[in-house]
Amino acid sequence: MAGTSRNVRVLVTGANGFVGSHIVSLLLSRGYVVNATVRRQTASEKLIATFACDRLHVFVIPDLTSEQALDEAIRGCKYVVHVASTVPSKEQASGIDIDSAISSIESVMNSAVAHASEKVVLTSSMSTHLDVKAPILNESTWYTPDRSSTKLMVQYMSSKTLVERRAWELSSTLKLPLTTVAPVYIGGPTIIHEQDPKSSVSNQDLLRCIEDESRSRIPGWIDVRTVAHLHLHAIEDHSLNGRRILACTHNRGVVPMDCSLMNSLLAKDSAALIDFDRTKRDLLEQIDAFNSGQTRRVVA
């Protein structure tokens, strides 16, 4: 494991998102200095209000694909956690811009090398491991992308796969250590002040699953706080360089997955393992509190 986190600076892209905000919270709690990127000024203001910490520095970067976009934000960062990504929703009218997603990881990796960062951790997805011909998903299985598909979920899976493939190519050519964290569906409470806990696409799916799990086709779940801990392990444990962490703590048995690497990490970090019942309870309690707060504001 790495040494003390005091004064160690970490760049987190997509820091205001569902996963990104939990990673920021965990890093700050462990004493790291965090350089966080968001796309909009309003997101910056919410992030600053949520954490109110002088070790958090927020940078508004509307477009990660532009050359040298990260120059200011990445300066002095020992580690880089690239979380920023487009998650598909049924309301999304246009398709996913795969080329922009690939350009973003190229920008991140090249900037990391240019500014002497020591490692990149990429938030990937279980879908990148989804080889339909494999008897079990593991570190070596890969989804076969289809760029011609008009189906939003296929576009998402193709995008995540092509981005991760490109990241590994650059890791090899640039001699830059890389670890990926590939969760299944993620659930749990949100962390940004005044954010509707139902606004997370994953939480919407989780709520549908809670209503009638027997009808859900979702392969499995993991708590967002556990996902944050896995990113922290990826940063601190240099033996994870070059590894793909497939992450699922509540496998519904639909898709066999080898999560032995994740299990070995969580065995050493009991605080990180959150059971599915707690995930559901914490989410439902937060939704009730949010709805009650909304009602009080309307009445007032």
pLDDT digits (tens, 9 = 90+) for 160-190: 999 999 999 999 999 999 999 999 999 999 9
Higher pLDDT among residues 198 and 33, named by residue: 33
Is 15 labelled a binding residue? yes
Predicted TM-score (pTM) above 0.85: yes
Please check if 43 is assigned to a binding site.
Answer: no
User: 300 pLDDT exceeds 60?
Assistant: no
In this predicted model, what pLDDT tens digit does every residue of 239-267 receive, in sequence order? 999 999 999 999 988 899 999 999 999 99
pLDDT at position 242: 99
User: How many CA atoms, within 13 angstroms, populate the side-chain half-sphere of residue 217?
Assistant: 0
pLDDT, averaged across the chain:
90
* Whole-Å CA distances, 217 to 92, 188, 207: 21, 19, 13
CA distance 205 to 282: 16
In this predicted structure, the answer to whether residue 53 has a pLDDT above a threshold of 50 is: yes
- HEC assignment per residue over 79-145: EEEECCCCCCCCCCCCCCCHHHHHHHHHHHHHHHHHCCCCEEEEECCHHHHCCCCCCCECCCCCCCC
Residue 16, annotated as binding a ligand:
yes
Q: How is the chain split into domains, by residue range?
A: 9-299
- As annotated, the active-site residues are 160
Q: Could you confirm whether domain 9-299 is CATH 2.40.50.140?
A: no
Mean pLDDT confidence for 139-164: 94
135 is in an annotated binding site: no
pLDDT at 145 over 90: yes
